[in-house]
Structure 1
Amino acid sequence: MTVFGLDIQTFYLTLLIVTGCITILYIFFGDVLDGIGEGIPFLNPALILAFIIFFSATSYVFEVITPLSSLFIAVIAIIISFLLDILLHFFVLVPLSSAEESLSYTEESLKGRVGKIIIPIPEEGFGEIVIESKSGTISKPAACYEKTAISEGTQVLVLDIKEGVLYVTPYESLDAESM
């Protein structure tokens, strides 16, 4: 069988190579196309390229090793590619996207957190605070909310955030003994 004047095996191999090259380009320049897959996840360019690669690779292998008809091979390849694409989406792309979100933080999410002063805050001045989190240690500039000095090592509570500076107040945790 021929497609576009090429033998079917040559067509599948050419499609595989071209789509592989486009996939490599997508890896390097994919940020430009990321908005396309936001609304409908199955229009994600990574899934479309993966489907074409799965289809062309499966079709090429079946054309080479089996005596089945080309139409039947194409149908089998479409089914296999669709199943592999679904597995790729749910077991690779979805967990990766949620993992990326869980490691990030916003400044607003720091309100109400408790941290430790590592550079003392003078009156009317700035120091530095460290906040421990599941994803690591966050270090930010800090100022006292009441405009008083806070010494190094003091535990503080983040009350407000303005222009990247955390406004804090000394924090004393409740111990079981004081109750």
Structure 2
Amino acid sequence: MEALYLSCLAGGVLFAIVSVLFGDVLSNALDGILDFMSVDILKPMVVASAITVFGGAGVLITRYSGFSVIPNLLLSILIAICISLLVYFLYVKPMENSENSTGYSIHDLVGRIGEITIPLPEQGYGEVMVKMGAGNVLHIASSLEERVLSAGTRVVIVDQIDGVLSVAEFDENRGDDV
């Protein structure tokens, strides 16, 4: 029975390594052909952890306890199920919910407030910094009203033309009149 546990332990570790290294390659090669068989809780990480924990628990219980074969097997299965459920609910499920894209379209910037980092001349280009998500992005900008805008001026992005943001000075009091 110890050979089964050792092979599960080794197989689980190998499965984990292979799925980490080649998971995307295999997924792209199969192009979703096996998606109909997917069950939400049977993610590769959960399966690999269950197999590995089953093998590891079986080896430890066999070597360090006086249990016979059947209680040892049942206890190993129970431990593997418990640990894999913990992996699923404490790691896999929260990670699925936290996946965010850092990509954005330049059109998403229209209407946002930014700050001039490189001064804008009346006619010409400067740079504006806009907060996007947890970070800031810098883009080439021009003054919509053809006014000089110095560094540190707060602006609103009015339009985007050929990758250049057209900005106007942001006036906090102006919104009350409308």
Same fold flag (TM > 0.5): yes
| SS of residue in 2 equivalent to 1:43 | coil
Give the aligned partner of residue 7 of structure 2: 14
Whichever residue aligns with residue 141 of structure 2, its letter is A
How far off is 1:111 after superposition? Answer: 3.9
In structure 2, do the counterparts of structure 1 residues 125 and 15 end up closer, same or farther at CA, with 3 Å as the change threshold? farther
Give the aligned partner of residue 4 of structure 1: none
How far apart, in 2, do the equivalents of 1:50 and 1:58 lie? 12
How far apart, in 2, do the equivalents of 1:41 and 1:143 lie? 49
In structure 2, do the counterparts of structure 1 residues 43 and 164 end up closer, same or farther at CA, with 3 Å as the change threshold? farther
In structure 2, do the counterparts of structure 1 residues 157 and 52 end up closer, same or farther at CA, with 3 Å as the change threshold? same
Whichever residue aligns with residue 148 of structure 1, its letter is E
Give the aligned partner of residue 106 of structure 1: 104
Whichever residue aligns with residue 18 of structure 1, its letter is G
Give the aligned partner of residue 171 of structure 2: 172
Native 8 Å contact 1:54 1:81 kept in 2:
yes
1:47 aligns to 2:46 (yes or no): yes
Unaligned runs of 5+ in 1: 1-7
Give the aligned partner of residue 131 of structure 1: 130
Instruction: Give the TM-score taking structure 2 as reference length.
Output: 0.71
1:23 aligns to 2:22 (yes or no): no
In structure 2, do the counterparts of structure 1 residues 59 and 133 end up closer, same or farther at CA, with 3 Å as the change threshold? same
How far off is 1:53 after superposition? Answer: 1.0
In structure 2, do the counterparts of structure 1 residues 161 and 90 end up closer, same or farther at CA, with 3 Å as the change threshold? farther
How far apart, in 2, do the equivalents of 1:48 and 1:100 lie? 21
Instruction: Give the TM-score taking structure 1 as reference length.
Output: 0.71
Unaligned runs of 5+ in 2: none
Native 8 Å contact 2:11 2:51 kept in 1:
no
In structure 2, do the counterparts of structure 1 residues 84 and 161 end up closer, same or farther at CA, with 3 Å as the change threshold? farther
Give the aligned partner of residue 90 of structure 1: 89
How far apart, in 1, do the equivalents of 2:47 and 2:5 lie? 16
Give the aligned partner of residue 71 of structure 1: 70
Native 8 Å contact 1:150 1:170 kept in 2:
no
Native 8 Å contact 1:159 1:166 kept in 2:
yes
1:62 aligns to 2:53 (yes or no): no
Whichever residue aligns with residue 172 of structure 1, its letter is D
How far apart, in 2, do the equivalents of 1:126 and 1:143 lie? 5
* RMSD of aligned alpha carbons: 3.3
Native 8 Å contact 2:54 2:77 kept in 1:
yes
Whichever residue aligns with residue 22 of structure 1, its letter is F
Paired residues, number: 166
Which structure would you say has the larger RCO, counting Cα contacts within 8 Å and 6 or more residues apart? Answer: 2
Whichever residue aligns with residue 47 of structure 1, its letter is V
How far apart, in 1, do the equivalents of 2:39 and 2:157 lie? 39
